[in-house]
Amino acid sequence: MSTDAVDPLEFSPWDFWRDSGVEQQAAQRERQQSLVDGHPGRRLGMDCFVSALASVDPEILQLGDRTYVAAGAYLTGELRTGADCSINPYTVIRGRVTMGDAVRIGAHTSILGFNHSMEPGTPVFRQPLTARGITIGDDVWIGSHVVILDGVSIGSHSVLAAGAVITKDVAAGAIVGGNPAKLIRWRVAPATEPAPARSRGLGERVAEFGARARSEASAILDRAWSGERMLFADRPGAAPTVRAQADAIEIADLLLGVAPPQRTASEHIALLQGWQDAETGAVAPLGPDGLPLAGLDFSHDDVAYHVLSVGYALDLLGSEFPAMITWVTDTTPQRVVEFCQALPWSTDAWRAGHHVDALGTALRWERSAGGSAPAGVEEALFGWLLLNADPHTGMWGSATPDRGLLPVVNGFYRASRGTFAQFGVPVPHPERVIDTVLRHAHDPRWFSAGARDACNVLDVAHPLWLTRDTGYRAEEVQDLASRVLSDALGGWSPDAGFSFREPSPSTRGLEATNPGLQGTEMWLAIVWYLADLLGISDALGYRPRGVHRPEPAAL
């Protein structure tokens, strides 16, 4: 054999770490190190292989364990894979592409997570690129010469036949082929039970869950109560926080219909009102001495959230903030516009939405207190949001390389909750909102088993509930709601409630999987919204009335 012959392992690398020699393995490790050095967006798992004959130049490259890239492959853009994925010879992957575990890609396949605009009057090469991204689930077999176009979601356990052109989403378990691809048969058949029957079965579980939650509510509150500090902590061993007091009040109201019995209602009111700064109206986080920290204003994330949590806790107790919230009483319409424009929509849409939520809720409290906010301030806030909603996503802000649509969807929930939902105003572009949420809910980084947390699930459930009257993609919405609700009901811990993050074998031991007040309060609301999307929320025997109330509050 010629000394300059190409090593066959470059094209067939699945047995590289078993069959290669010491020098070959050393060269491979050196190649992988050269790929990640100086590139913070690149990360390669254990026992990966990247051929020296592949063109690998993405901004983001995250390969799971035992994933290989064979000779001739061409990778650019943002690629994230799970474990045990194969990218075979001459595969092209460009744009924003996310795969789950065990995705097998045949040779000469093109996965194109971007596109060109093609409006008339301008040459295509001068037109801007668009990128919606492609999501591929777990255990997917993609044959040779397949083409997958931007914006498509491929369900887990599906098979794409050789030569297929994928222009639309592929359902989980489907075998598709042709141009454009159509269903051939099922590899894993979908549930044959109709949605109403599934809902009836879930309805029984929901009723049992509601009864259990009410019967264990007192134990949950006792578990989080610090008798020494006379305050609630999120869970045993944690420090007391302002939010924990508010979460306890929300849980007690939701499940018991009374204030937490550890204090009288008037004592709860006095405690919360006493934490409000009389000059600014802000409620700061607690220091080690149990008193609010000094010198913080509404730009602080916790101070902003306390406008919601403390305000609604006082509302549930039949009271209100004693001092005006100067954030809105001292502002002007122009300042509101400047405030919205200055928020980090392109880099952290969640944080931007967080502060819009707080501003909208501050306006809600001042309106109920007698309308002391200057004229035009509400109009400026809603006007900015309406004019700046992206007509393609229905939301505000931009996806990010490392988190995809997560900050956009989560930021939309926060911004719309505190404005459109709270004031009873229809959201702009509701069908695009549904498209974006359903696409995001296919992202395995946030919605595979064990990856879901209360924030991410609530921020999907509420927008789908808020736009439910459109009837758009209703079957897909109900299917998602039934699957997530079924899993959520299994996350309850006896006498402890819910953890913030969904427990699973892979997340065991993480702090976020310890049951606490925050997780319990949020998942109780999530369960209600998902059940209501399925028409079975009455079986729960509770309905949120605080931060997560479904009805408009500022009417």
Residues 255-284 pLDDT 10s: 999 999 999 999 999 999 999 999 999 999
Using alpha carbons, select from 269, 378, 360 the residue that is nearest to residue 322.
269
- Residue 373: pLDDT band (50, 70, 90) is confident
Active site residue 116: yes
Residue 2, pLDDT score: 47
8 A C-beta contact, residue 128 and residue 93: no
Q: Mean pLDDT: which of 15-19, 226-230, 357-361, 372-376 is highest? A: 357-361
Q: Which is catalytic among the residues 116, 355, 429, 548? A: 116
- Residue 370: pLDDT band (50, 70, 90) is confident
Residue 476, pLDDT score: 92
Residue 118, pLDDT score: 66
SS3 content of the chain, % helix, strand, coil (to 5): 45, 15, 40
Q: Which long-range contacts (CB under 8 A, 24 or more apart) does 155-162 make?
A: 155/442, 156/100, 157/187, 157/188, 158/187, 159/187, 162/106
Over the stretch 272-322, which tens digit does the pLDDT of each residue have? 999 999 999 999 999 998 899 999 999 999 999 999 999 999 999 999 999
Average pLDDT, the chain: 91
Residue 371, pLDDT score: 66
> ω into residue 180 within 30 of 0, thus cis?
yes
Where is 92: in which H helix or E strand? strand 92-99
Residue 197, pLDDT score: 45
Residue 192, pLDDT score: 47
Question: In terms of pLDDT, which residue wins out, 2 or 138?
Answer: 138
Over the stretch 414-438, which tens digit does the pLDDT of each residue have? 999 999 999 999 999 999 999 999 9
Residues 6+ apart with CB under 8 A from 149: 112, 115, 165, 166, 167
Over the stretch 519-533, which tens digit does the pLDDT of each residue have? 999 999 999 999 999
Say whether pLDDT at 143 is over 80: yes
- Cα separation, 550 vs 533, in Å, equals 12
Cα torsion 150, 154, 158, 159 to 10°: value is 10
Over the stretch 438-490, which tens digit does the pLDDT of each residue have? 999 988 889 987 789 999 999 999 999 999 999 999 989 999 999 999 989 98
Residue 68: strand pairing partners = 49, 86
pTM score: 0.67
- Cα separation, 373 vs 330, in Å, equals 8
